[in-house]
Structure 1
Amino acid sequence: ALWFHNVISEEFGVGVNIFWKHLPSECYDKTDTYGNKDPTAASRAAQILDRALKTLAELPEEYRDFYARRMVLHIQEKAYSRNFE
């Protein structure tokens, strides 16, 4: 889930896919044999965010912008890791 596919083959080649899961098994969808899907908590969070954005869309643009920026700051404070800065 944290990688992309991009290949340009100019000659014959062989590709090998190796799959592994880094997180505990309960973090993955039970049907995700190879760990290709986002962890279930990340998928749920994305769905919740989509619902929150749909709710913000009910506000006038100026208010929507203000509250969206507050939400972004809240996410940065609570979820961003300081180890990657």
Structure 2
Amino acid sequence: MTDQKPVADMTFEEAMGELERVVAALEQGNVPLEQSIALYERGATLRKHCEDRLRAAEEKVEAIRLAEGKPAGLAPADGL
């Protein structure tokens, strides 16, 4: 995993895709200890980035709902 893109520059989709690859590599269990630690640290950073992106998206949706005169807060999406 050399020449890694900085996590802060990743889209949600890019970070989630890399996080899935990190988890898969760790689950295989054939990665040397030092590399496993580095992967785990990268995974933790990617997870936080994804959580932050989701939180920001939720806040934007709440702001839009409030601007439309609808109660702020999370509401189930239609069809889910």
TM-score norm. by structure 1 comes to 0.31
Query: Could you say which structure has the larger radius of gyration?
Result: 1
The structure whose RCO (Cα within 8 Å, separation 6+) is larger is 2
Compute the TM-score of the two structures, normalised by the length of structure 2: 0.32
Structure (1 or 2) with the greater helix fraction: 2
